[in-house]
Chains A and B, each alone.
Chain A
Amino acid sequence: MSNINLAVNRVSKRFGGNQAVDHVSFSVTKPELIGMIGPNGAGKTTLTNVMSGMIKPTSGAIYLNGKRIDGHPAYDVTRAGLGRTFQITRALGRMTVLENMMVPGLAHRPGANRSALEERAREILALLTIEHLTNEYSRALSGGQRKLLELGRLLMLEPSIIILDEPFAGVHPRLQETIYQYIHRVHEDGKAIILISHDMGAVFELSQRLLVLHHGALIADGAPQDVKSDPAVIEAYLGHDEED
């Protein structure tokens, strides 16, 4: 089991007059499957970007395994043990699937044996059912296959915490099943997963804990059955015109 200790302390992010993330605090200390939900514009992706080092927070602090990571560049956060996927996949188009896998592999373990890393990459690709695309340029992959490739790249990094941003969006049901299996397997391997999705069925089926964001603020943090009946959550989803 990986060492897991993520602490998000009163993190805020403001873009001009828009408070995208508003004093959010939570922690992850065990290999949990955590769902992060909220209406469009709730701040889920912004919080993910702040946590993963893509953007700096306006205020607050984030600690990962005892190391303060807020404001650190993304590569530093990744090496510290927090990996992420993107809502819109960001495959490295003019590189083969194998090369896409080797980038995080070699970045994470600079002195590692290249053929051993390639072997590991092929195993992961086989797990994700896209082994036959190993030598294909990733720009030639379908949207769902790119999602799988992103998930595969994460495993090359061996992070302790994984943030999956809309892993099921626009994915064929057959590939969705593969992603389900991936999530279960990674979780069983002792990693914490934060799952961001608009697919409520998937979130409630997979999650052991739910974080609910609304207007940038964390309005609920608890077991799915408790969150479901939380008046603040009900209002956020049903009380305004902006529900999904």
Chain B
Amino acid sequence: MAFFKRFESTIDNGIGRRRFGYIVLGLIILFFLWFPNDSSQSNYAKTVFISGFFYAIMASSWALLAGIAGQFSFGHMAFMGIGAYVAGLIARDGIVFATLGIAISPESISAIGAIIIGTLIAGLVGLVIGWLLLRLRSAYLALFTIAFSELFRIMMLTEYDYTGGSNGLSLRPLLQIADVDTARQVEYYLMFGLLIVCLLVMHWVANSPIGLFLRAMREDEDAASALGVNVVRYKILIFVFTSMIVGLAGAVFYSDVGSERIIPEQLEVLQMSLIIAYAVIGGMESLVGAAAGAFISRYLLEATREVVIALPLGLTTSDGSGAFVWETGAWRYALFGVIMVFTLRYMRNGLLHPIITWFSGRDLIMQETVSKRKSDDDYDDQPEAGDE
């Protein structure tokens, strides 16, 4: 503790916490840029990281929607699925609007074109859902989006002639690289780049006047409206924006970058719950916190598939080994549940919140405010009157 205090004092008197935070962030980014170049790392490890980047986009965009804008939606995976399925169907079947006389053959649509269309359609559906949700709050909003999400999943499962049903749908590969190692490396950088771009854009939104209005809306929609905020506009805007982000992430990830096909199982409520859990553990009011929570959680879920337990007191297993290998299976999710319960009970702003607060210097500002208001708190106000 004394060492930390000395360290804290050195930083505060030196470069300051914010600058130090940027240096740490820079080092983390450098690590991720270096990682695939490390020859000792397997393609499996890179695949785990690619998956982590994808879930980081999912969790951070959900944090923007629910944690910052206060729209507690369960429809996030469905919007991701819309982006992926639309991109896959368009690349396979082309676009035909007989009534408008439009017919575009699949051959003339590139993988990137299909991803863009998938992203736009996800945004369009987000626009419709956002409009339908205008008057729904809290539990009703959550229930509506669960229903929408399940409806979409069942559609994808049932219409197997078009979607491949439970076998899933293969999207047109975004990259055509023959060498597996090179392909994995490029896929890694592609997904990492997408995560960085998405985080930067979301960070810009969250710190712009729009972000301020979204937070005001989260706190009290009526008060925000009375202060001149067009709540309807920003509610729809954030649904469209986050739907497009996850639609893009889904379309890219399933274009053989992170996975070779999208399956309806990915759209289950359980998967959505995992996204929420990642964001809650990392900190649902912080984009970086939610992204880090998702990445670390994904990594830990993979790392704990098998746990080696050394047996004490010279005990051995039947095959003479001094260690017992526990294949955790679904139990790792149970452990994950315990972490989430702990987070919600004791650290509601996420496990990473103290670190983010420290780097932001928010606690210093608070200390200053406390000392300033000491002289002001020599009286108490009476309780407020009830509403008429």
Q: Footprint of B on A, CB under 8 Å?
A: 40-41, 44-46, 52-54, 73-75, 78-79, 83-84, 86-95, 99, 102-104, 106-108, 110, 132-136, 142-145, 153, 157, 166, 169-172, 174-175, 198
Contacts and interface: CB of A to CB of B under 8 A. Distances in A.
A74 B220 CA distance: 13
B369 A142 contact: no
B209 A106 contact: yes
Contacts of B230: 73, 75, 107
B373 A132 contact: yes
Contacts of B213: 103, 106-107
A133 B373 contact: yes
B388 A41 contact: yes
Contacts of A169: 384-385
A103 B216 contact: yes
Nearest to B223: A90
Given A89-B384, A143-B382, A170-B382, A132 B223 contact: no
Contacts of B228: 75, 78-79, 103-104, 107-108, 157
Nearest to B224: A103
A53 B229 CA distance: 13
B385 A132 contact: no
Interface string B218-232: 111011111111111
Contacts of B285: 94
25 contacts: A73-B225, A73-B231, A75-B231, A78-B226, A86-B226, A87-B388, A88-B387, A90-B223, A91-B223, A92-B224, A95-B212, A95-B215, A99-B212, A103-B227, A110-B209, A133-B369, A133-B372, A135-B365, A143-B382, A144-B381, A157-B228, A170-B382, A171-B381, A175-B381, A198-B385
B219 to A, nearest CB: 4
A94 B379 contact: no
List 7 tightest A-B contacts by C-beta distance, closest first.
A107-B228, A169-B385, A144-B381, A90-B223, A92-B219, A74-B225, A132-B372
B312 interface: no
A230 B387 CA distance: 28
Interface size range of chain B in the complex: 35 or more
A54 B224 CA distance: 11
Given A88-B384, A142-B381, A169-B385, A95 B219 contact: yes
Nearest to A132: B372
Contacts, number: 128
A113 to B, nearest CB: 12
Contacts of B107: none
B177 to A, nearest CB: 46
Interface centre among B213, B227, B369, B379 (most CB of A within 10 A): B227
Nearest to B382: A170
A143 B379 CA distance: 12
A66 B387 CA distance: 32
A172 B213 CA distance: 31
Given A88-B386, A170-B382, A170-B384, A157 B227 contact: yes
Given A142-B380, A174-B379, A92 B226 contact: no
A134 B372 CA distance: 11
Nearest to A112: B209
B220 A90 contact: yes
B384 A92 contact: no
B373 A136 contact: yes
B387 A45 contact: yes
Given A87-B388, A90-B223, A175-B381, A106 B212 contact: yes
Contacts of B229: 75, 103, 107
A175 B227 CA distance: 23
A45 B231 contact: no
A132 B376 contact: yes
B161 interface: no
B232 A73 contact: yes
A3 B132 CA distance: 38
Contacts of B365: 135
B378 to A, nearest CB: 10
Contact of B212 (A84, A102, A153): A102
Contacts of A86: 223, 226
